[in-house]
Structure 1
């Protein structure tokens, strides 16, 4: 049986070196239940990233204020995704992690202030990729209601990666930020160059 050609993908998202492959789109729509379960884990982890940065840099007032809002919104999305899991009869369960997040975190330098800069940029890159991939699910998902849900989350993800960028340029020189972002974005794309055998939001 010949596979139906996929419609064109979206334009490349700012900050990302390479767009998502059509192979990932096909894998994702073939395993929507697994993608929803992984999406739940991603929203919970994203809230944790924001909270961890707040605890690590409590004297950075703008960071604390902006990441408080992000953490709250990520937890709201976590609940919304869990409602979809209930609707589709999918039980909450652990999933193995692809090498994506660990590979990016391995690039975060240990000493300050480099650690702060890298942490903000890695979080921003993950949010940018989430924005792109939720948009692709919104475009290609065969379930109209679920597709609408994904499209509704896109604006939030765009705000989130914009917030991490804003924080990076608040605390660091823009030229330094741009150079380091380019280095990390190359790593980010390389981590996704080979499709992970298990369907995940970041695989």
Structure 2
């Protein structure tokens, strides 16, 4: 039988630094939706390390979901759910009343409309005080934070002109409009950042 598990070297490299931020940012219990879970390696790592959380992975890509299913079967974690087929730009996410939303390395490899939909959907589905966590490269004050990010941005746009490294200030403004306050900006390895947003009480 073919093993559908996919491997991402970057997921293996960044999982521990991300987990360190998640331990501080996420509640000790509750329901977490991971958007664009990719291979599923992050999902099993975080669900295994944070057993009090009900971890719901998702991805719009069928092959990615097959990998998540395979990793889930391999890990056999009681708090890791089967993946949802979820595109943030669709109105129905198939899940509501979330304590946290985690989205790693998505908004630079998708159109800006996906980032807008992510914040709009998270703002409507998070409980008061709920957390939206983002990870990835960002520009600050319109400038790249490293030459490697500048090169990466050009490479992304060569693949799709709607992709690209986003301005952190524009992302924070999306949060503000959706009732999500950026509480924390954490510099991460390899010129990436963690952004932690919290939903304002309504």
Q: TM-score if structure 1 supplies the norm length?
A: 0.29
Q: Name whichever structure is richer in strand by fraction.
A: 2
Give the structure, 1 or 2, with the largest relative contact order (CA under 8 Å, sep 6 or more): 1
Q: Name whichever structure is richer in helix by fraction.
A: 1
Structure index of larger Rg = 1
